[in-house]
Homo-oligomer: A and B are copies of this chain.
């Protein structure tokens, strides 16, 4: 997502990357404004955290009028919520390596790469912090994970069809089991989110899935 330098309201209209005022752009001005605002909000969140997120500062950095930002996003939680909608829309499609172990390793690598990326890792921590104290941000975060987990569910469904895991295995539970140890390292224990952690998370989740631990409902096996 590049910074388009979208200008509106009181912001300067002579930005270098926008030399032709009034020219038609994909998505139009509204989409350009949203892109610039969400990029600025994400940058500021990653840099200073949720408690310091200020709509006027976001507007200034995005080169968008303050009134536009206040009217459309209302408050910091509104920005976080829309940022999560945008992040869910741009998430990567699921892998299809031909085996559950391969797919879960690909998923674990993707999560690990996101959490260890300098900007993305800090951004996720800031958003999760926001969700601990704000219901709007919390609901948006749940919706983001719903999208992410649903996107990768076909990997588990295919594993059921191939007979790698028992029927009734819950895709959301399997995929949550892959992500959880990596988030725990990032947010709680402080242990590194490295290749060993990624590989262990995928292997442990696959093993448990194969042995029926993630069958939903009361028929779950404990062995």
A residues sitting closer than 8 Å to B (CB atoms) are 48-51, 125-126, 128-129, 131-133, 138, 141-142, 145, 149, 172-173, 176-177, 179-181, 183-185, 187-191, 196, 199-200, 203-205, 207-208, 211, 213-214, 220, 222-223
Q: How would you classify the secondary structure of chain A's contact residues: helix, strand, loop or mixed? A: helix
Asked if B207 and A132 sit within 8 Å, CB to CB, the answer is no
What's the nearest-Cβ distance from chain B to residue A200, in Å? Answer: 6
Q: Which of B145, B189, B214 contacts A188 (CB 8 A)?
A: B145
Asked if A184 and B173 sit within 8 Å, CB to CB, the answer is no
Give the residue name and chain of the B residue nearest to A221 (CB). B203
Do A133 and B49 contact each other (CB < 8 Å), given the known contacts A145-B189, A190-B142? yes
Give the residue name and chain of the B residue nearest to A185 (CB). B176
Asked if B187 and A187 sit within 8 Å, CB to CB, the answer is yes
CB neighbours of A188 from chain B (8 A): 128, 141, 145, 179, 183
Asked if B149 and A189 sit within 8 Å, CB to CB, the answer is yes
CB neighbours of A128 from chain B (8 A): 128-129, 132, 187-188
